[in-house]
Chains A and B, each alone.
Chain A
Amino acid sequence: MATTVAVFTADADVTADYVIRELNERGVNVFRCDPGDFPATVTMAARSGACWTGRLDAGGRCLALDDVVCAWWRRPNRTEPDARSAEPEWSAREARAGFHGLMAVLPWLNRPDDIRRAEHKPLQLAVAAAVGLAPPPTLLTNDPDEVRAFAKEHGPLIYKPLCSGGLSDHRMIYASTVAPDTVDDGVRLTAHLFQPEIPKDHELRVTLVDGRAFAARIDAASDDARRDWRADYTSLSYTAAELPGAVLDKLRAYAQRLRLRFLAADMIVTPAGDHVFLEANPNGQWAWIEDATGLPIAAAIADALEGRTP
């Protein structure tokens, strides 16, 4: 019987620490490794057969591949080209293909390939609509005329980036109100996502772990945070909340369709009490929610990694 939980993440990922500490207290074997350290300080050797067998050596520890009860892909560093190699780029590509390919045979709390797929916002919105989670009407375009027509149809719009809002100079792009007279050919330069402004009573961050929901209500006290709570953390307050059963069922259906055992979903609750799905990060953060609310998310992730059914 497999006994070891494998955690793939950067050394400085303190969020992973929450779960590893929980596993340590439970006496569970843990193997922590940063894939970005392969091949420099991580050694891999495996042989094919009915299943792959072999080992990873990292940090003075050895992981037997057939002893992995579950693996967790957190926030690893990227395997960078090794200047010692005569072909550093090729070596890095081969390293990634070999390491990731072998890791694909492991049992996972969210397979890395499923994480990548579930990060696509258009797919998130389509799946949310299919399971009845009621995402906002959304326009994805590089055509300013389409933006103007969408605004005529839906009223005031917000713009939000599709993936990271971070720029190279450390500026950030949050969800922003769109002034109609500013829509111009700047839209043509890349893909832009627009949605109608949804009236908010408050927002929810729902962390789902193997079907168990940990909902945190987020109340914002500033205009910036009311528009996008990420824009002003200092004005936020958090409380544990309950998700209506019908909404939870739909969120579970969403996770099932995208083969996710873990996700962190953001929702608006309107003044009328409707729940509007915004997005679901398949590898989202949660530790600050646990700190603020006491919701036992780390323990739930540890349960999932151990294969415990609550």
Chain B
Amino acid sequence: MTQTLVPFGVRHAVTVDPEPVDPVTLIYDPDQQINLVRDGGVVVPALKHSTGKTSTTTASSDAKPGNDYDSDQTED
């Protein structure tokens, strides 16, 4: 059986607690072509929706799947 080895860089990994953007809470408005959220009884633009850490897909290329936790993790 082949032993699995841990790359040096991976030893520096830490557990994070991302604050994901929940797509379920986003309401896409096809007229304005932007996302809205329900805030109380009012629907408002979803801008400034989070405190920082998100886990939205940030891959800049669709040649790469998955999330990119680049320096832009705090995107919004």
Contact = CB atoms under 8 A, between A and B. Distances in A.
Contacts of B10: 167, 173, 186
A77 B57 contact: yes
Contacts of B32: 20-21, 24
B33 A172 contact: no
A287 B76 contact: yes
B9 A192 contact: yes
Contacts of B61: 112, 115-116, 119
A309 interface: no
**Interface SS of chain B: helix, strand, loop or mixed?**
loop
B5 A264 contact: no
Contacts of A187: 7-8
B12 A174 contact: yes
Nearest to B64: A78
B8 A75 contact: no
A165 B11 CA distance: 12
A288 B8 contact: no
B52 A96 contact: no
Most A CB contacts (10 A, CB to CB) among B9, B11, B16 go to: B9
Contacts of A12: 21, 23, 26, 28, 35, 56
A22 B47 CA distance: 12
A96 B26 contact: no
A76 B46 CA distance: 18
A11 B58 contact: no
B39 interface: no
Most B CB contacts (10 A, CB to CB) among A7, A115, A171 go to: A171
**Interface SS of chain A: helix, strand, loop or mixed?**
mixed
Interface stretch (A82-90, A129-137, A230-238, A247-255): A230-238
B62 A291 contact: no
A7 B33 CA distance: 10
Nearest to B23: A12
Interface residues of A, number: 68
Interface in A4-47: 7, 10-18, 20-21, 24, 30, 32, 35-36
Given A75-B56, A171-B13, A264 B72 contact: yes
Given A17-B46, A159-B9, A165-B69, A283 B75 contact: no
A20 B35 CA distance: 10
Contacts of A13: 56
A101 interface: no
A279 interface: yes
Contacts of A167: 10, 13
Interface string B5-38: 1111111111110100101001010101111000
Contact of B26 (A14, A112, A170, A287): A14
A242 interface: no
A222 interface: no
A173 B71 contact: no
Nearest to B7: A189
5 contacts: A14-B35, A78-B65, A79-B62, A164-B70, A186-B11
Interface of B: 5-16, 18, 21, 23, 26, 28, 30, 32-35, 45-49, 51-53, 55-76
Q: What 3 pairs between A and B have smallest CB-CB spacing?
A: A285-B72, A166-B69, A186-B8
Interface of A: 7, 10-18, 20-21, 24, 30, 32, 35-36, 59-60, 73, 75-79, 96, 112, 115-116, 119, 144, 159, 161, 163-167, 170-174, 176, 182-187, 189-190, 192, 230-231, 233-234, 264, 266, 279, 281-285, 287-288, 291
